Homo-oligomer: A and B are copies of this chain.
């Protein structure tokens, strides 16, 4: 390495660094259909199907805190967040590999609990654990999960396909996982200040469960099939709605309008946000880890999804030149900013 220049990682940020590092790579293998840049890589499989591959790293102290994340939940969540990436391509997850590095701080019993959670996720989502790697680490616990899935060629959905006037739809409700994290962090601080005080998590069950035991929206893929809807673009919501809307717009070359008052927020998310002096809309836009789906559909499909209890139309795609804005209650436009989880900031 040349010693005369040193660029810090935070100067480029996570996405800038990935772009820099991967820009010189070109796909040359005939079976590679889509490489870096979507929720999952796409590989030729057979006449009718593609194989999907997605991978995630989870590090103690960066992605999870074992003070409030039980091992079983950690195992479950590590699997689910990867399955979510396969689902976000309109695909069906089928296999996972799990690699694990642990320091000698952890006994075998902790790993057994971790694998109980992995096993549970495999059962719930009907996927097989087919491989992995196990190693010691000098510091803490880390997990690397790779998910493999399959999708019918005619039903695959990329981030790139949305067009002006397409409706923007999100599933479930948003911001809950972020507020769950706030409650857990608060109780951790209380506990650290005074270990004799028991954590008070009463009345926060839903948002804590959304943080500790998220689910991937496999059911939505089935609903879309039953409704005979193929989204024009889709991804999962892991870094907050604002960041994901901007990803879809960038990939598809569009602008967007998102309506403040259309955002699906659970009442527990709202009340706890207000408790914490946070704006619930900010939690939805910038709070991560909900693992809901955002997708766009042609206006012609509106009748098919209208009133569906799992789906909320939150806005629409515009021409690229019109920018990406949140429309507030007074019809004022506020430029969306991606303040989601940048792992290098």
Chain A, range 45-77, C-beta contacts under 8 Å to B: 45-47, 51, 53-57, 59, 61-63, 70-71
Known A-B contacts A55-B133, A144-B55; the reply to A127 vs B29 at CB < 8 A is yes
Q: Mark A291-335, 1 if CB is under 8 A from B, else 0.
A: 000000000000000000000000000000000000000000000
Q: Which residues of B contact A148 (CB under 8 A)?
A: 43, 51, 53
Instruction: Report whether A1 and B71 are in contact in the complex, using a CB–CB cutoff of 8 Å.
Output: yes
For this chain, the copies found in one complex come to: 2
* Of the residues B63, B113, B135, B344, contact of A57 by C-beta under 8 Å: B135
Within 8 Å of chain B (Cβ to Cβ): is A134? Answer: yes
Question: Restricting to A74-125, which residues have a CB under 8 Å from any CB of B?
Answer: 94-95, 97, 99-102, 104, 106-113, 115, 119, 122
- Given known pairs A2-B109, A104-B10, A129-B22, the reply for A29 and B136 (CB within 8 Å) is no
Q: Is A18 an interface residue (CB 8 A)?
A: yes
Give A268 Cβ to nearest chain B Cβ, in Å: 29
A172 close to B (CB within 8 Å): no
Q: Complex formed: what's the CA distance from A122 to B47 in Å?
A: 27
Q: How far, in angstroms, from A114 to B144 measured CA to CA in the complex?
A: 19
Establish whether residues A29 and B146, one from each chain, have CB atoms under 8 Å apart when the complex forms. Answer: no
- Is A277 located at the chain interface by the 8 A CB criterion? no
B97 lies within 8 A of A53 (CB): yes
A343 close to B (CB within 8 Å): yes
From A20, A24, A31, name the one whose CB has the most chain B CB atoms within 10 angstroms: A31
Question: Can you give 30 contacting A-B residue pairs, CB < 8 Å?
Answer: A1-B71, A7-B109, A8-B104, A11-B108, A20-B108, A21-B112, A25-B122, A25-B128, A27-B130, A29-B94, A31-B95, A32-B128, A35-B95, A35-B129, A36-B131, A45-B46, A51-B51, A53-B97, A53-B146, A53-B148, A54-B131, A62-B101, A62-B137, A97-B146, A101-B142, A137-B142, A138-B140, A139-B139, A139-B140, A144-B144
